[in-house]
Amino acid sequence: MQVALYIAAIIISVALIVIILLQVKGSGLGDLLGGSGGDSGVTRTRRGLEKTLYQVTIGLSFAFLLISILSVYFTR
């Protein structure tokens, strides 16, 4: 059971890295580090693929948290 949880955690973490990098791809390096990319004070609404990637990121991060908690529970 522990091995399956470890493998699932690795797969989810790689997927999270890829999805986060896809979200940042359209932004400048300043946005990645927390700066404003020229449109300071302007907020945008997520639409289409950007919204889907955002929701998948939230779901994967929740799944990673759950698997991490389960793996700690089963190792004891």
Residue of 44, 48, 56 whose CA lies nearest to 20: 56
Task: Specify the pLDDT at position 26.
Answer: 56
pTM over 0.85, yes/no: no
Which residues touch 23 (CB under 8 Å, ≥6 apart)? 50, 53, 54, 57
Q: What is the mean pLDDT of each run of 10 residues along the chain (76 residues)?
A: 94 96 68 56 77 94 97 90
